Chains A and B, each alone.
Chain A
């Protein structure tokens, strides 16, 4: 069982309380009318599928109900960090430095 730290509850809790919610930092254009078909396709459908650290959204569904962001290693399933929605995207180098 994975243990996930909710940045809103500030507790590390069992995975069953959480749901996965897709890739993080996918930002809708401020002016949608300016977008080309290719840009819409990219926004709606194109996602990364990394082998390694992945920036993704999670929701503390059976808890505070909040969406937050996480960096999870898709090989080991290890969570490198979790942070509140709207917080800046952490640099990967700083997270991997914590690992040792």
Chain B
């Protein structure tokens, strides 16, 4: 079994006036790989899997982001993993797929504040402002693979693998201090 709660314990995360970083509450994470007609999987999950890379869908407490043409990241309450896994497993014969619990692999940093997007440019070469609100992207932050969710004009979530989390959090802390110094 994967360890659900990450071992990453950040030192006090930066809390600037223009950009804040905080550690999100633990959530269950599943990676789904599937091809072909997805209707049966949609029914099993209770949510229609988005087909465009970067698009999101949600139903109830399940949140889905399309990472690639045949790959999705699902966030859901830990208590629902058993039921979702079982209903997908029942389809294995008729619709082969892969559903992997990666809950223990990564943590989520929440980044918000009026200059949150600017803070992310510290490590993200992509045009962060161009990501539409309500979508997400897998990208690189200082060469670390991350998943960036944009929840609002100035509200982001950054999924980072455990072993990279101290590095990414450290960079964000530096950036927050720079932005705070500019504002002062």
Verify if B140 is at the interface (C-beta below 8 Å from A): yes
**B125, A63: Cβ atoms under 8 Å?**
no
Report the contact-size class of chain A (Cβ under 8 Å from the partner).
10 to 19
Residues of chain A in range 25-65 having any CB-CB distance to chain B below 8 Å: 61-65
Complex contacts, A11 vs chain B, CB 8 Å: 54
Interface size of B as a range: 10 to 19
Residues of A within 8 A of B48 (CB): none
* B71 interfacial by beta-carbon distance below 8 Å: yes
Q: Which residues of B contact A (CB under 8 A)?
A: 53-54, 67-69, 71, 125-126, 137-140, 143, 145
Establish whether residues B125 and A1, one from each chain, have CB atoms under 8 Å apart when the complex forms: yes
Query: Are A17 and B69 CB-contacts (below 8 A) given A8-B53, A9-B53?
Result: no
**Residue contacts A-B, CB under 8 angstroms, 7 given:** A13-B126, A14-B125, A14-B126, A62-B139, A64-B69, A65-B68, A65-B71
* Interface check A92, CB cutoff 8 A: no
Given A62-B139, A62-B145, A63-B139, verify A9-B125 contact (CB < 8 Å). Answer: no
Count A-B contacts at CB 8 Å: 40
- Closest approach, in angstroms, between the C-beta of A3 and any C-beta of chain B? 10
Residue in chain A with minimal CB distance to B138 = A63
Q: Which residues of A contact B (CB under 8 A)?
A: 1, 8-11, 13-14, 16-17, 61-66
Contact (Cβ within 8 A) A64 B67: yes
Cβ contacts under 8 Å, B126 to chain A = 13-14, 17
User: A8-B68, A8-B69, A9-B53 are known contacts. Are A64 and B138 too (CB-CB below 8 A)?
Assistant: yes
B71 engages A17 (CB within 8 Å): no
Q: Which 5 A-B pairs have the closest CB atoms?
A: A64-B68, A62-B140, A14-B125, A9-B53, A65-B68
Q: Are A66's CB and B68's CB within 8 A? A: yes
Complex Cα spacing A14 to B68, Å: 17
**Closest chain A residue to B143 by CB distance?**
A16
